[in-house]
Amino acid sequence: MDQVHSTTEQHVKGKHLTYDERMIIQIRHKEGCSPNRIAAEIGCAPNTVR
């Protein structure tokens, strides 16, 4: 699995997702990754990904 974008800062609770984070979610979802795995990659809660 190639990493599209590596976020250098952790996602802060209560902040909106960035465009890059949204793109990572979309790409990983199409690849069949679980919400838990995607959330761990971008540093947010799995419910945010769902």
Mean pLDDT value across the chain: 85
Q: Give the residue from 1, 48, 45 showing the smallest Cα distance to 27.
A: 1
| pTM over cut 0.75 | no
d(CA 13, CA 7): 15
For 4-23, write each residue's pLDDT tens digit: 555 545 666 667 999 999 99
Residue 37's contacts (CB-CB under 8 Å, 6 or more residues apart) are: 28
* Boundaries of domain holding 42: 19-49
Q: How many domains does the chain have?
A: 1
Within-domain flag for 30: yes
Please report, rounded to a whole number, the percentage of residues in the chain having pLDDT higher than 70. 72
Determine, yes or no, domain membership for 3: no
